[in-house]
Amino acid sequence: MLDFIANVTNRLDKFLASKIDVSRARIQKSIRNGDVSVDGIIIMDPDFDVRPGTKVSLPEFGSEELTEYNLDLKVVFENDDLLVIDKPAGLVVHPGAGNKDKTLANILISKYPNIKDVGDPHRPGIVHRLDEDTSGLMVIAKTSRAYDFLKEIFHDRSIEKEYLALVHGIPEKLHGIIDLPIAKAPSHRKMKVGEGKEAKTEYSVLVHTLPGSLDEYALLRVKLHTGRTHQIRVHMNAIGHPLVGDQTYGKYQKADRALVDRQFLHAYRLKFKLMDQTWIELISPLPEDLQAFLTRIGITYEDQLI
């Protein structure tokens, strides 16, 4: 951790740029990601005025250039332009505070050297992301033309993304759409429902435990109509049904540690049009750890996904 004491009033990003040999754009991104604190309070605004005598803290920056990391990836589809992988839980998508060299981005440049020139140099080929502890399908561009194409279909919402999520309790509506804007919470690395960007999540209850039982659970099929950070986790918590195993949102964090060691969220289905205009649909089975917990609570789901 780096600590600096301000001696004059200055913008936060300019102050840090004067102290460390890192591009201002990268500093601004780090601030917006919630990596920087002033007198112990996380500040996410690069324009924030730092006053004399205040302490500014941030993690040390690694090299600007990604290093290679050799780890096998489960590739479920690949052509000359793109690939779709089945990301395991625990794999961080791109470098950030605390993990600079063992991420999906580092693996990609090891296996596909030319991908370094595709998109953001710190997120080569990556057009969307999954949280570290979320497993499932991710599509990655191998060429610049594929990168632009995928960015466009994500922006136009012409790609279908569906998840399996296990939540606490049984939603009153077995099918519903949560239409609540999501914004960054100002004082920590969380998101919140409130004034922010449009966010729409559609869910259907596939199966649930016996109503009125001591521990009620519902397995949901969730479709994203937008792609906000932590969207499913924030929205389900907002309607009183947080994800099982989610250690950031909801009120069951301590109890969930004895159940599963990550949030019960899996990106199981992708459907989109390839660059030659043919459609592709891919399904990822539920991972063993999540399936084992469903078995423990007496839930089966396979016949619900036809």
Residues classed as catalytic: 131
CA 134 to chain centre: 7
Look-up of token digits 């625990």: 90
Cα 147-153-155 angle, rounded to 5 deg: 100
Rama region for 39: left / alpha / beta (φ>0; ψ in -120 to 50; rest): left
Do the beta carbons of residue 210 and residue 155 sit within 8 Å? no
CA 13 – CA 290 distance, rounded (Å): 42
- For residue 282, what are the contacts with CB-CB under 8 A and spacing of at least 6? 76, 77, 84, 137, 269, 270, 271
Tell me how far apart the alpha carbons of residues 261 and 289 are, in angstroms, rounded to a whole number.
Answer: 9
Q: CB-based contacts of 94: which residues, under 8 Å, 6+ apart?
A: 103, 104, 105, 122, 123, 126, 129
Tokens of 156: 């136009």
Which residue, among 67, 304, 112, has the nearest Cα to 204 in the 3D structure?
304
- How would DSSP label each residue in 65-123? SPPP------EEEE-SSEEEEEEPTT--SS-BTTBSSSSHHHHHHHH-GGGGGSS-TTS
Which amino acid is located at 135 in the chain? Answer: S
Contact assessment for residue 264 and residue 243, using Cβ atoms and an 8 Å cutoff? yes
